């Protein structure tokens, strides 16, 4: 991912037949992109990156609306391999509506990153999906729209106490 300039990162919202979402896409988009998040009582993810880079990096998170995953939350919560499967499913189910090549911000042939927000709270297998980040650099078989997969983060929709969105 470039360390300077203006970049875009896709954010996928994923719910399940056995665990629907509770927050709106608008609420989550505000947490990622708002210049005045929580009326100045919080800081959006985008603003965090701008501040940390002293204004050299401006990230816009393109939040795509809620989609229902092909498997249930119970299925994906059965361990690390299924957590990864959920993230790849999220990318693939958004493929018909997204040209992923636009997310190779530095032109290196790799999508710079993905974020998956999944319905519910963080959990531990076999009862939940653990928040995590994955580096796909060595996965040369994962290609979409002519670009290799970049890094990915999976974050729960609800925070520790289950009543608001937070990034752990």
- Please, what is the average pLDDT of the chain? 89
Largest CA distance in the chain: 44
The answer to whether residue 154 scores a pLDDT higher than 90 is: yes
Q: How confident is the model at residue 166 (pLDDT cuts 50, 70, 90)?
A: low
- For the segment 34-63, what is each residue's pLDDT rounded down to a tens digit? 887 777 777 888 999 999 999 999 999 999
Q: Could you tell me what percent of the chain has a pLDDT over 70?
A: 95
DSSP summary character for residue 97: G
pLDDT at 39: 73
- For the segment 55-98, what is each residue's pLDDT rounded down to a tens digit? 999 999 999 999 999 999 999 999 889 999 999 999 999 988 89
Contact predicate 100/152, CB 8 Å: no
pLDDT at 118: 96
Q: Indicate the pairing of strand 132-134 with strand 151-156.
A: antiparallel
Q: How confident is the model at residue 168 (pLDDT cuts 50, 70, 90)?
A: low
More confident residue, 127 or 19: 19
Please give the model's pTM, rounded to 2 decimal places: 0.91
Contact predicate 66/13, CB 8 Å: yes
Contact predicate 152/116, CB 8 Å: yes
Mean pLDDT over residues 144-164, rounded?
A: 85
């Amino acid at each position: 991912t470039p360390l300077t300039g203006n970049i875009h990162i896709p954010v996928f919202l994923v719910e399940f037949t056995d665990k629907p979402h509770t927050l709106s896409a608008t609420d989550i988009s505000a947490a990622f992109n708002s210049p005045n998040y929580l009326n100045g009582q919080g800081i959006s993810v985008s603003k965090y990156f701008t501040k940390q880079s002293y204004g050299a990096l401006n990230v816009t998170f393109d939040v795509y609306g809620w989609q229902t995953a092909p498997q249930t939350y119970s299925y994906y919560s059965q361990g690390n391999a299924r957590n990864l499967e959920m993230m790849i499913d999220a990318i693939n189910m958004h493929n018909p509506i997204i040209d992923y090549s636009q997310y190779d911000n530095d032109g290196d042939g790799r999508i710079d990153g993905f974020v998956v927000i999944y319905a519910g709270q963080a959990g531990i297998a076999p009862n939940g999906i653990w928040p995590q980040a994955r580096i796909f650099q060595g996965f040369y078989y994962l290609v979409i729209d002519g670009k290799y997969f970049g890094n990915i983060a999976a974050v729960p929709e609800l925070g520790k106490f289950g009543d608001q969105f937070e990034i752990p």
